[in-house]
């Protein structure tokens, strides 16, 4: 597990497996808005509107391995961050939902689309995690229990201390999802988009047109960011993220037009990504 600071309020924890990124964000102390000040698009994961707020920390997505998850509480304490008052997941794939294994009493906030997916696919994340663990001989002390899941309106805002996170719809890779802007730190968390290690992939419910719409939605946020954190792969600066975005748009358009003959993005044309491309082609045909 590797930990990097992008800003005094933002840490990125990268798992040794799947190059999966977990983002920890600190919101400075402030005062929450009263009911008369809060719009319908504002949400809270923990906390109370109108009450004086202490500094808060949220954990976005999760590392994979048991020892990495076990180390998260001590790592936050060592960094001077408070224990998290909320967990967020960018989408409902199992590898982004493991924060509850590290913080079993903390509520999990997800986009309304993800909440609906979790209801429609009861136990799917747990089954996929179990299959992954069996494949690579991982043992966990406890099964994954998602517990209290809070559906957040997206697009919308989520209060954290005296700050707010912006939540934006990010479907196409899956049927659900959200990107998260940490505006005061100029950090954009995009989930399974804009990866330099993985081509755009269409899982069950994924759709190339929705994926392209998400990339168009993300473009101005990327242009405004100093750091872009994909679900898998290295953290990107603005210019590199925009280049990856353009490569992904070109690939998806070629996938729609050329199908199996679509060229894979430069640097991502390897055996594993060709297998993912074949799955994308099959989903297009189904």
151-210 confidence digits (pLDDT tens): 999 999 999 998 999 999 999 999 999 999 999 999 999 999 999 999 999 998 899 999
- Amino acid 34: pLDDT: 31
Q: What is the pLDDT of residues 93-137, one digit of tens each?
A: 999 999 999 999 999 999 999 999 999 999 999 999 999 999 999
Crossing angle between the packed helical segments 238-258 and 208-224, to the nearest 10 degrees: 170
| Residue with tokens 């707010």, as numbered in its chain | 164
Please say if the pLDDT value at position 18 is more than 60. Answer: yes
Cis peptide before 126 (omega within 30 of 0): no
Quote the DSSP letter at residue 95: G
- Amino acid 49: pLDDT: 47
- Amino acid 144: pLDDT: 95
**159 contacts: CB under 8 Å, gap ≥ 6:** 27, 32, 33, 42, 43, 44, 47, 53, 165
Residue 254 tokens, joined: 């070629």
- Amino acid 108: pLDDT: 97
Residue 53 binned pLDDT confidence (cut-offs 50, 70, 90): low
Domain that holds residue 118: 2-285
Please report the DSSP string for 132-144 in residue order: HHHHHT---SS--
Residue 233 binned pLDDT confidence (cut-offs 50, 70, 90): very high
* Total count of domains within the chain: 1
CATH number at residue 162: 3.60.15.10
Cα 230 to its chain centre, rounded Å, is 7
- Amino acid 46: pLDDT: 55
Does the pTM surpass 0.75? The reply is yes
pLDDT, the chain, mean: 91
- Amino acid 285: pLDDT: 79
* 260 vs 274: which has the higher pLDDT: 274
Residue 89 tokens, joined: 């997941």
Beta bridge partners of 109: 88, 150
- Amino acid 78: pLDDT: 94
- Amino acid 54: pLDDT: 79
Interatomic CA distance for residues 206 and 230, integer angstroms: 18
Closest CA to 164 of 44, 15, 35, 280: 44
Average pLDDT over residues 218-247: 98
- Amino acid 235: pLDDT: 98
In this structure, what are the phi and psi dihedrals at residue 19, rounded to the nearest 5 degrees?
45, 45
């Amino acid at each position: 597990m590797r930990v990097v600071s992008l800003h005094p309020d933002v840490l990125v924890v990268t798992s040794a497996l799947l190059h999966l990124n977990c983002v920890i964000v600190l919101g400075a102390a402030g005062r929450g808005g009263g009911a008369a000040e809060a719009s319908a698009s504002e949400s809270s994961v923990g906390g109370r509107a109108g009450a004086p707020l202490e500094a808060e920390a949220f954990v976005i997505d999760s590392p994979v391995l048991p020892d990495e998850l076990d180390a998260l509480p001590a790592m936050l304490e060592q960094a001077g961050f408070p224990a998290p008052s909320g967990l967020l997941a960018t989408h409902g794939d199992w590898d982004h939902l493991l924060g509850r294994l590290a913080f079993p009493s903390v509520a999990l906030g997800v986009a309304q689309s993800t909440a609906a997916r979790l209801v429609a696919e009861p136990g799917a994340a747990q089954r996929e995690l179990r299959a992954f663990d069996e494949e690579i001989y991982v043992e966990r002390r406890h099964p994954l229990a998602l517990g209290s899941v809070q559906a957040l309106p997206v697009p919308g805002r989520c209060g954290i201390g005296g700050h707010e996170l912006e939540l934006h719809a990010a479907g196409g890779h899956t049927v659900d999802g959200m990107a998260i802007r940490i505006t005061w730190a100029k950090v954009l968390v995009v989930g399974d988009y804009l990866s330099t290690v993985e081509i755009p992939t269409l899982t069950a419910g994924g759709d190339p047109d929705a994926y392209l719409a998400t990339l168009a939605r993300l473009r101005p946020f990327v242009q405004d960011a100093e750091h872009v954190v994909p679900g898998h792969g290295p953290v990107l600066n603005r210019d590199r993220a925009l280049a990856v975005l353009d490569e992904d748009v070109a690939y998806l358009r070629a996938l729609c037009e050329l199908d199996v003959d679509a060229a894979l993005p430069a640097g991502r044309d390897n055996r594993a990504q060709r297998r993912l491309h074949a799955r994308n082609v099959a989903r297009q045909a189904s």
